[in-house]
Amino acid sequence: MPDTSFEDKVRDAIANPQNMGEMEDADAVGTVGSADCGDMLRMFLKFGERDGERVIDRASFQSFGCQTAIAVASMATEMLRGKSLDEAQHLSADEMSADLGALPPMKVHCGQMVEGALRSALDAGAQEGDRAEAGADNLAASLSPGGAVAGKIKIVPRTDNTETP
């Protein structure tokens, strides 16, 4: 009988992450970060059409984050394939991380980051035209002074010059 603990599922997802990396031809991009832990996540969406309805053809992600954030993002990008924009808009962090099991309380923000990046990308994708981006030009630039708001997470970079242990 295979061991299906949370840690083993995260380890498996990290060993073989799906859809990780920038998508050059993305139609929409959303970026979020967590000031609490310094994690950042960017989600890329490519749209197609099915029966006259706009659907997500592909999704990918970039992450500066912990293993749980990468695992949830990997699973979410697989789950998004073929979903209408309305279906994707209604996905919760809990639904996107369900295959991992209940996230430990200190890791709930990982699912919320993925949800925030998805919502940010969907909002950007609602704008027709060239590649729509919510957030900065690249993931690292998203830590711009003043912070940015995406979903329920606000990016607030540290302004002091003290080092953290």
Q: Tokens 């990308």 map to which residue? A: 121
Q: Do the domain assignments include residue 107?
A: yes
| Domain annotation covers residue 16 | yes
**What CATH number did the domain enclosing 46 receive?**
3.90.1010.10
pTM above 0.85, yes or no: no
Q: Which domain holds residue 19?
A: 6-128
Indicate whether 35 belongs to any domain: yes
Number of domains in the chain: 1
Can you give the pLDDT of all 165 residues of the chain as single tens digits?
455 687 887 888 878 889 999 999 999 999 998 777 788 999 999 999 999 999 999 999 999 878 889 999 999 999 999 999 999 999 999 999 888 888 888 888 889 999 999 999 999 887 754 455 554 454 445 444 444 444 445 545 545 555 544
148 vs 53, 124, 155, CA distance in Å? 31, 14, 5
